[in-house]
Amino acid sequence: MDIYVGSIPFKWKDKNLYDLFEPFGSVITASIVIDKITRQNKGFGFVTMANDHEAQAAITALHGTEHEGRSIVVNPSLPKGEIRKPQRQKPEGKVSKKPVEFKSDKHKKSLPPWLRKEY
């Protein structure tokens, strides 16, 4: 099973990624994506594990863990070209659709004309 690993520390090498997943089972490959121009780690990589059960255990155990100040993202890898839709977070509290009411015209005059509209 192929696994995507994101938000990894920029100092990491392939060996660090391999060592992180090895306790969960047989790691076939572990590679960090490198920028072709700067030769710097891009902060994400891929791991291929021999067994789906072991890979799922690694995903469950490692997702969200912190390494060198970064909380890593660990998910099953999607086929090339597919994009995982980000999960939307609901805003906390209530969102008002009412216009802001000013107690004096002093503040209202500082707004652009299109926001001064009376309702």
Superfamily of domain 2-76 in CATH is: RRM (RNA recognition motif) domain (3.30.70.330)
Whether the predicted pLDDT of 72 surpasses 60? yes
> In degrees, to the nearest 5, what angle opens at C-alpha 43 toward C-alphas 10 and 57?
110
Torsion angle of the four alpha carbons 34, 37, 38, 42, in this order, in degrees rounded to the nearest 10 = -30
**C-beta of residue 70 within 8 angstroms of C-beta of residue 5:** no
Q: Read off the pLDDT of residues 13-56 as tens digits, 9 standing for 90 and up.
A: 999 999 999 999 999 999 999 999 999 999 999 999 999 999 99
Q: Read off the pLDDT of residues 2-13 as tens digits, 9 standing for 90 and up.
A: 999 999 999 999
What are the residue ranges spanned by the domains of the chain? 2-76
> In degrees, to the nearest 5, what angle opens at C-alpha 95 toward C-alphas 94 and 101?
110
**C-beta of residue 101 within 8 angstroms of C-beta of residue 28:** no
The structure tokens listed for 26 are: 């047989």
Cα separation of 32 and 52, whole Å?
A: 21
pLDDT at residue number 60: 97
pLDDT at residue number 80: 72
